[in-house]
Amino acid sequence: MQRKAGLWITGAFSTSPTGGIEALAGLIPVHLHLQKMAGGANFRAATLSDTHPLRSILSQDHHKGAQSHPCSISQMSEAFKRKVKGTVMEIDRHLPELTESFEPVASEARPGARLMDRFPDQVIFDDCGSLLEQDALEARERDLFTILRNVRLSDDTVYCSVDASLPDNTQHQAVLAAILYREFEEFNGVCHVVGRVTAPDAELFTIRSAITLATQQDNCEKIYIFTDSIALAR
């Protein structure tokens, strides 16, 4: 399957070597991809809360705040541990290899400490609501041109136009584009292929890409994002 995908991506001959096709297409070999997925699944246990039930059946080093279960790994003899196979044993064996630290209940993610909780007056959403009448459409268009004219006159403002597109054909991938302006000049633009994802994922990644590039600019005090997905921006 991966060989067929590599041939489709590169347009190479059907007799081309599999390893070369994978390298040119940027596809990780299947056995390495499986190793990466297995390693990620083992390390994901480090993101669990201190009292998660899974921790109660791990060894003593990984219990944290959970009470030890009578059938936990910490209750097994060394000889018995060598005989037992399974996902939990793999997790317990590989967790010491993890060098990063995780905080499942980070203070930044708690209610009252989130970005919108701490700085509610720094982020403004200009929701136009329902525009069914022609008069409402014309008024909205005038409002947008007024906003655009004002941001062009400010040298400390970066404004971005973002959008994502999902093809009707499931064989193709979604793409996103973001164009960044300062005053009257376009100074940056990105276009990414984001894979076979949902529309919300593509739109969120588009907004994130624009904000990331805007915050890297010197003397940037305000950022304006023009998007047709106000619900996702919220």
Residue ranges covered by each domain of the chain = 2-97, 124-233
- The sign of the CA dihedral 4, 6, 11, 12 is negative
140 in Cβ contact with 126 (< 8 Å): no
pLDDT score, position 163? 92
The DSSP bridge pattern shows strands 157-165 and 174-182 to be antiparallel
The half-sphere exposure of 30 on its side-chain side, counting CA atoms within 13 A, is: 7
pLDDT score, position 97? 86
pLDDT score, position 160? 94
Residues ≥6 apart with Cβ < 8 Å to 38: 90
The DSSP bridge pattern shows strands 222-226 and 157-165 to be parallel
pLDDT score, position 130? 63
**C-alpha 139: how far from chain center:** 36
- Give the CA distances from residue 204 to residues 69, 188, 200, 210, in Å, rounded to whole numbers and listed in that order: 42, 19, 6, 10
CATH of domain 124-233: 3.30.420
**Average pLDDT, consecutive stretches of 10 residues, N- to C-terminus, the chain (234 residues):** 87 86 85 87 84 86 84 86 86 85 75 83 81 75 88 91 85 89 90 84 90 91 90 84
